[in-house]
């Protein structure tokens, strides 16, 4: 199957067309996307046996079947998450949806079940999720870099059998899915052997290691679906053959304010990885509640990214845990960031500051940076900073291969190679009985 990319305007047009029958755009986007999700399950042989039923009633029946496959998929039949029956579809809207997905099989080829395109299409269809909650997919190549700087060293330190990570703003799960694969097939460098192979125990272990929470209940359900789709594909089974006991740690909750959600328990994670929302809360009540809960960072017209940093560093991370985020760099230039920069961040062990403002990251119109800290007071005297010189000369055909992004990855690679070399020589000298370990200088 080939994947043809349609313009964002084509998705908008579909939402508008379907909304003529549903009455409003939110449900229109949900109907359209649920149809894509059911196609994904059927086209990849993941749905319970049988043909993909047609028509709106058939879609509702398929969603119920999927919901029955695993407890984590129950939200797909929950009217509070997918209020489809309240705003039924007529035949014209249904035909528009079917024709759209026929023309645009944006569900990846048969060999890809990760559902990246499925996540991206939700963002494209739902302006309510984009504008209301700042849903903006984290491209897989950005997710991979964030995980290399956080989950990968956490796996080395705590071991693949014990490591736990969370994305507290998981959206449709781009970071969570990449983390699942990183734990399932741990980096070869890990000095602690993985106690499990690549079969059912590896899948169970990887699922247990990864958690995701999002305010958007449908996005959270998509994350759960994608984690289970990957698991079923690795195990070579359908979703209804997956044991209900396999853990899927995904929840719909307000990560900043909910203190009852078990996945948001304090000190539970060796890696917290996020591309948090950068917007200022629009609702005055929410704005004040967040300000009251995070007075150390939520100052003035604060961006939500700041309380998310505090959530991860002060609450979710285990002592010494890694916290990596792709975030807006507005805190460096605006008044609301003053206390964050001068009082809050210096309390933690900064590892990496990477200027990504020159890189072309689709959907991220705001200039960004990557911050990586460890949840402990500063250690040592080195923070690795990758400074930007200039932006992309033009929009790259493949953003993952853009000049700026590749330069960033190369700088990260050489720094990590140096760190590993130095750790190896330190270890060798210690084993030879030297106690005074000399370090050579390194500049980038
Ligand atoms: C930039 S997107 C993250 C996208 C995600 N990494 C992905 O690739 O799908 C920010 C996410 O934060 C979520 N969000 C906003 N406020 C939140 C809150 N208070 N608690 C939990 N999630 C929140 C939004 O719903 C959105 O999915």
Is any atom of ligand 1 closer than 6 Å to the C-beta of 137? Answer: yes
Q: Ligand 1 centroid to 276 CA: how many Å?
A: 6
How is residue 424 written in tokens?
């190896």
pLDDT of 226-236, one tens digit each? 999 999 999 99
As a whole number of Å, the CA-based R_g of the chain is: 22
Q: Which of 73, 86, 79 is nearest to 40 (CA)?
A: 73
Q: Specify the pLDDT at position 88.
A: 87
pLDDT of 157-170, one tens digit each? 999 899 999 999 99
Q: Which residues of the chain are under the pLDDT cut of 50?
A: 1-3, 195, 197, 436-444
Q: Specify the pLDDT at position 365.
A: 80
Q: Which of 2, 272, 257, 264 is nearest to 111 (CA)?
A: 2
**Distances from the Cα of 333 to the Cαs of 25, 337, 344, 434, in angstroms?**
36, 7, 16, 47
Q: Count the neighbouring beta carbons within 10 Å of the beta carbon of residue 422.
A: 14
**For residue 213, what are the β-bridge partners?**
251
Rounded Cα gap, residues 155 and 160, in angstroms? 5
* Residue having the nearest C-alpha atom to atom 17 of ligand 1: 215
Lookup result for tokens 């967040």: 290
Is any atom of ligand 1 closer than 6 Å to the C-beta of 171? Answer: yes
- Total length of the chain: 444
Q: Ligand 1 centroid to 120 CA: how many Å?
A: 13
Q: Which of 21, 16, 278, 22 is nearest to 124 (CA)?
A: 16
Terminal C-alpha separation, the chain: 44
Is any atom of ligand 1 closer than 6 Å to the C-beta of 303? Answer: no
Q: Ligand 1 centroid to 31 CA: how many Å?
A: 21
Lookup result for tokens 């853990």: 247
Q: Ligand 1 centroid to 254 CA: how many Å?
A: 10
């Amino acid at each position: 199957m080939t994947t043809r990319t349609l313009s964002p305007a084509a998705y908008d047009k579909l939402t508008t067309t379907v909304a003529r029958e549903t009455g409003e755009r939110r449900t229109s986007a949900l109907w359209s996307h649920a149809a894509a999700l059911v196609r994904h399950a059927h086209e990849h042989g993941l749905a319970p046996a049988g043909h993909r039923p047609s028509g709106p009633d058939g879609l509702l029946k398929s969603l119920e079947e999927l919901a029955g496959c695993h407890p984590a998929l129950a939200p797909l039949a929950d009217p509070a998450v997918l209020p489809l029956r309240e705003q039924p579809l007529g035949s014209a809207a249904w035909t528009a949806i079917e024709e759209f997905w026929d023309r645009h099989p944006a569900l990846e080829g048969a060999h890809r079940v990760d559902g990246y395109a499925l996540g991206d299409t939700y963002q494209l269809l739902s302006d309510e999720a984009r504008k209301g909650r700042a849903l903006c997919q984290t491209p897989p190549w950005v997710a991979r870099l964030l995980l290399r700087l956080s989950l990968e060293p956490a796996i080395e330190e705590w071991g693949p059998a014990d490591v736990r990570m969370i994305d507290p703003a998981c959206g449709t799960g781009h970071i969570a899915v990449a983390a699942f694969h990183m734990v399932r097939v741990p980096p070869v460098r890990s000095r602690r052997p993985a106690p499990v192979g690549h079969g059912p125990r590896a899948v169970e272990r990887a699922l247990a290691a990864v958690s995701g929470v999002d305010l958007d209940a449908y996005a959270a359900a998509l994350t759960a679906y994608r984690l289970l789709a990957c698991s079923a594909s690795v195990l070579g089974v359908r979703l209804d053959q997956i044991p209900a006991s396999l853990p899927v740690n995904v929840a719909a909750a307000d990560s900043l304010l909910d203190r009852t959600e078990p996945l948001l328990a304090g000190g539970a994670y060796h890696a917290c990885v996020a591309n948090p929302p950068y917007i200022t809360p629009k609702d005055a009540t929410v704005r004040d509640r967040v300000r009251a809960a995070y007075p150390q960072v939520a100052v003035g017209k604060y961006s939500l990214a700041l309380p998310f940093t505090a959530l991860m560093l002060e609450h979710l991370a285990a002592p010494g845990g890694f916290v990596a985020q792709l975030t807006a760099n507005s805190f460096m230039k605006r008044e609301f960031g003053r206390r964050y920069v001068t009082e809050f961040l210096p309390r933690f062990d900064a590892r990496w500051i990477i200027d990504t403002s020159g890189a072309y990251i689709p959907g991220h119109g705001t200039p960004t940076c990557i911050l990586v800290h460890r949840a402990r007071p500063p250690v040592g005297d080195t923070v690795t900073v990758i400074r930007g010189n200039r932006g992309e000369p033009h929009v790259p055909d493949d953003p993952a291969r853009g000049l700026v992004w590749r330069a960033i990855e190369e700088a990260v690679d050489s720094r990590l190679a140096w760190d590993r070399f130095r750790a190896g020589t330190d270890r060798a000298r210690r084993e030879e009985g030297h106690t005074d370990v000399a370090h050579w200088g390194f500049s980038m």
